[in-house]
Amino acid sequence: MSNGPISLDEALASFDALWSPRVVTRVNDHDVRIAKVEGEHVWHVHDDTDEFFLVLDGELHISLRGPGGEHTVLLPRGSVFTVPRGTEHRPYAPSGAAILMVEPTGTLSVGDRHDEIPDHVDATTGHALGG
């Protein structure tokens, strides 16, 4: 972890992998992660934590399933959204996006419960920046 300022543009330029978040810093017991995304992630649930999203570039869609059925939240650049704990969701970006997420350190990117993980999705607790 850096003790100085971190340029998110430079951090994003340091890797190409999709759906493979990098930890840019930590705040108390939470990771601040960035990721490049395109296409679909996997339907998943984080049982014990909310998941915060900030769209840095592009547009992110987050489909949500709940007692009232399924709906999608559309997040253009600069938008934030928090998926409540226990909510089944699937992020996707038809044209690609760059996102920032905040979640407790050690949180698996595919949640506690998930569908089968496709090859293009990295099931990780986050990689070190530059790693």
In a domain, 52, yes or no: yes
Domain range for residue 92?
Answer: 8-128
CA distances from 22 to 27, 58, 72, 81, 84 (A): 15, 18, 25, 19, 22
| Percentage with pLDDT > 70 across the chain | 98
Judge whether residue 131 has pLDDT over 70: no
Domain of residue 42, CATH code: 2.60.120.10
Segment 67-89, tens digit of pLDDT = 889 999 999 999 999 999 999 99
Judge whether residue 107 has pLDDT over 90: yes
Segment 41-61, tens digit of pLDDT = 999 999 999 999 999 999 999
The domain tally of the chain equals 1
State how beta strands 22-27 and 30-40 pair.
Answer: antiparallel
What's the pTM value of the predicted model, to 2 decimals? 0.94
In a domain, 67, yes or no: yes
Quickly tell me which residue has 């293009």 as its tokens: 120
In a domain, 3, yes or no: no
